[in-house]
Amino acid sequence: MNPLAHDFHAHTEAMLRSISEANTPAVAAAGEAIGRSVAAGGVLHTFGSGHSEILARELIGRSGGLVGVSGIFDPGAGLAENIVGYGQRLVERYDRHYGLHAGEVIIVISNSGKNVSPIEVALFAKAKGLTVVGLCALAMSRTAPTLHPSGKRLHEIADHVLDNGGVPGDASIEVEPGIRAGPTSTLTGALLLNQLQLAAIEWLRANGHPLPILKSQNLPGGEAHNDALVARYRGRIARPF
């Protein structure tokens, strides 16, 4: 294996193990909140601006995942994420179309924790009575000056914080003096989000609730199974496809 690729593999392998252990209490607490909301008929909402939208989409419409997951999507792909008021308009429009209901949970993803749109979405959701789960690199969110007029960063707003363990700037491997490559936030974020979803499923199972889990449409009976589940959430789920 190429030495740089080997270094990245070794680094992320150790990182995945360490963040899984470090986030165990937060995953359990946030997973219970999601489980309770799903049991009451609630929807799990996600938002990520720019590259973080990849992770916001990770839980939406996935076989093996919860059916009632809906995304707030930015048509500008993060271009305007630091214009004050832009995130507010996005989340207000989403709320009008799909509804953000008190008692539901929203996952807001921002690696830096300082950008305006994720903070505005988190603040709006909290004001509506939702539980906010923030996914960020705490090492960066705690030190980077916020760009939002409130003076707050994502980890200071969220009810539950998942720390992806990343370094400021995300890239993990020094390839030349002052130059780093090998970002880790997608790998670690996907792990934490799927652990969170499994924690919610575990809570539902332990408390005797039905498990609204999608099947692969490529398996026999999968499409019919999914259609029946999706019908329960008609008008409430926004998907990018």
Question: Homologous superfamily of 3-233 in CATH?
Answer: Glucose-6-phosphate isomerase like protein; domain 1 (3.40.50.10490)
pLDDT confidence of residue 241: 56
- Token pair for residue 138? 């705490």
Q: What span, in angstroms and rounded, lies between the C-alpha atoms of 187 and 205?
A: 27
pLDDT confidence of residue 207: 98
Which strand ranges, in their side-by-side order, compose the sheet holding 69-72? 69-72, 44-48, 105-109, 131-136, 160-163
Q: Is the dihedral of CA 216, 220, 221, 224 positive or negative?
A: positive
**What is the residue-level pLDDT of the chain in tens, covering all 241 positions?**
689 999 999 999 999 999 999 999 999 999 999 999 999 999 999 999 989 999 999 999 999 999 999 999 999 888 889 999 999 999 999 999 999 999 999 999 999 999 999 999 999 999 999 999 999 999 999 988 999 999 999 999 999 999 999 998 899 999 999 999 999 999 999 999 999 999 999 999 999 999 999 999 999 999 999 999 999 998 899 876 5
pLDDT confidence of residue 239: 73
Q: Count the helix, strand and coil residues of the chain and give each as a percent rounded to the nearest 5.
A: 45, 15, 40
pLDDT confidence of residue 12: 95
Q: What span, in angstroms and rounded, lies between the C-alpha atoms of 213 and 202?
A: 12
Written as one string, the DSSP assignment of 194-229 is: HHHHHHHHHHHHHTT----B---TTSTTHHHHHHHH
- Token pair for residue 153? 């960063």
Kindly report the pTM of this predicted structure.
0.95
Could you identify the residue written with the tokens 């980077």? 144
